[in-house]
Amino acid sequence: MKINYKRRWDEIRQNLGDNDAFVCSLPGNTRYLANSEAPPGCPPGSTMNFVIIPSKGEPVAITSSLEEHRCRKESSIEDIRLWTHYPDIDSHGKTAIDVLKATLSEKKLTTLYSDTKVALGRKFKASQNNFVTEMRGVKTPDELERIKNAIKQSDKGQEFARNLVECGEGLTEREVRTEIDYFMGRCGIQENSFSTIIASGPNAAHSHHSNTNRKLEDGDSVICDFGVFWDGYCSDITRTYFVGAKPSDELKNIYQIVLDANKKSINALTEGNTGHNIDKAGRDFIRKKGYGRNFVHGTGHGFGLEIHEFPSLTYKSKVIAKDSMAVTIEPGIYVPGKGGVRIEDDVLVNGNAPKILTKAEKDLY
C-alpha cells in the first residue's frame, strides 16, 4: 500500500485555522510529511530541516546541499530548496533558516503554526502547535502495514534471542547483542530502531543498561530489548529470558508479576481510557505484590516513525487513548543486586479489544 501523503497534508491544511502555513522541523514530523519510508538516517533525522505545508499550494522542503541526492530520491515533495555556505554550490541561501524565511516571504506566508519554537523575526508571527506531532499518534492502514512488517522481524529476533540466551552461559552481553543484530540484519531490516539492549544478571536491575563484557551466568535474568526499522517504521519489543531456562523461585515470581501487570495494562488499553489509568492498571498490581518502588519507569509510549513518540503512557499522562494508536506496554521490576524483568509488547488500540501486535512468546517460565 502506497503512503498517502496528500491525505496528511490536507488534514493539516484543514486544521490551520486562520494561519497561512504549518512549518515542521521535528525529524519525525518532516519524515511524516516528506519521506516516511526512509529510515531516520545518519545522524538521525538529518535529511529535511523544514517542511512547509501552506494553506494553499504545494508543500516545500528545505535541506542542505549535502542531502540533495537522498532527498530528491526519497521525497514526496517536489519543491526542494537547498542551503549551503559553500559559494561554488547552487543554493537558495546560506543556512536553513535563511531559506525558510526567503521561502515564506516569497509565498507571502506570515502567520504560522510551527511544531517547535522558531525565531523568525518580526516579519512573521509563529505560534507553537502540537497538531502534527499528535496526529501521528493515530496510525493509518498504510502505516500499520509497515509497523506490522517491522514487528515480524523483531519477533523473529526474539525467537533467536531466546535460544541464544537460554544456552548462552559464558557469552558476553556484547556478543549476544552482536549475534542478534547480525541475525536481524540478515533478515533485511533497514536498521535497528535503537541500540539493542542486553542486560544480564545484576545489570538487569538497571532499566536502561548499556551492554558490557559481563559474561552470562547460569540462572541470570537477561533483558533483551530491541526493535527494527522496516520501510521507515519501527518496532520495539522486550522479553526477559533466563540462562539455563530455570529461574530461581524469586525471579520466577517476579517474572509472573510483570507478565500479569503487562496483561492488566494491555486490557486497560481501551478507546477513551486515560494514559494514567493504563499505567495504573499494571502499577497497582505490582505495588500490591510489594514491588511498587521497583517499577521505575512509565508503562509505555507511542512508536511509529520514531521509537518514542506521542502518546506517552505514564502515571502523570492525561492523554486519551484513541482507536488505532500504536503503543508499547512495558512494565518492569528491577531489584538492585539481583536482576530484573521487563516484558514489552506493541499494542494497537481497537475499541474495547486491544490488538497485541507482537507475537513472540512470553508465557515462558
CB of 70 to Mn ion, least distance (A): 28
CA-based radius of gyration for the chain? 22
Site residues (CB under 5 A) for Mn ion, limited to 71-110: none
Q: Least distance to Mn ion from the beta carbon of 162, Å?
A: 19
Residue 249 has φ and ψ, to the nearest 5°, of -60, -40
Distance of CA 178 to the CA centre of its chain: 22
- Minimum separation from the CB atom of position 307 to Mn ion (A): 7
Number of residues near Mn ion (by CB under 5 A): 2
CB of 253 to Mn ion, least distance (A): 24
Task: Report the residue number, 37 or 344, with the smaller CB distance to Mn ion.
Answer: 344
Q: Which of 328, 334, 343, 345 binds Mn ion (CB under 5 A)?
A: 328
Q: How far is the CB of 236 from Mn ion (least distance, A)?
A: 4
* Nearer residue to Mn ion within complex by CB, 115 or 236: 236
Q: Retrieve residue 66's grid coordinates.
A: 549535502
Q: 70: helix, coil or strand?
A: helix
Instruction: Answer whether 198's CB lies under 8 Å from 204's CB.
Output: no
Q: Least distance to Mn ion from the beta carbon of 345, Å?
A: 10
Concatenated DSSP letters of 321-345: P-TTBEEEE--EEEETTTEEEE-BE
C-alpha cell at 80: 526542494
Q: How far is the CB of 239 from Mn ion (least distance, A)?
A: 12
Q: Which stretch binds Mn ion (CB under 5 A): 57-65, 249-257, 267-275, 327-335?
A: 327-335
b/e code 255-294 from CB counts within 10 Å (16+ = b): bebbbbbbbbbbebbbbebebbbbbbbbbebbeebebeeb
CA distance 221 to 339: 6
Contacts of residue 143, defined as CB under 8 A and 6 or more positions apart, other chains included, come to 3, 36, 233, 304, 326
Single out the segment in contact with Mn ion by CB under 5 A; choices: 28-36, 143-151, 207-215, 322-330: 322-330
Q: Going residue by residue from 227 to 266, which x/- string records binding to Mn ion, judged by CB under 5 A?
A: ---------x------------------------------
Nearest to 22 by CA among 112, 128, 99, 107: 112
Q: Is 49 in the site for Mn ion (CB under 5 A)?
A: no
In the sheet that holds 21-24, the strands lie side by side as 79-83, 60-64, 50-54, 21-24, 111-114, 125-128
Residue 220 or 236: the one with the smaller Cβ distance to Mn ion is 236
Q: How far is the CB of 342 from Mn ion (least distance, A)?
A: 9
In terms of CB distance, is 300 or 339 closer to Mn ion? 300
Query: Toward Mn ion, which CB reaches closer, 100 or 234?
Result: 234
Can you give the length of the chain in residues? 365
Contact window for Mn ion (CB under 5 A) among 9-17, 94-102, 290-298, 323-331? 323-331
| Piece of 164-172, 185-193, 311-319, 320-328 that binds Mn ion (CB under 5 A) | 320-328
Within 10 angstroms of residue 48's Cβ, the number of other Cβ atoms is 29
The candidate with the shortest Cα–Cα distance to 219, out of 249, 185, 178, is 249
Binding part of the chain for Mn ion, among 68-76, 91-99, 328-336, 348-356 by CB under 5 A, reads 328-336
- Site residues (vs Mn ion, CB under 5 A): 236, 328
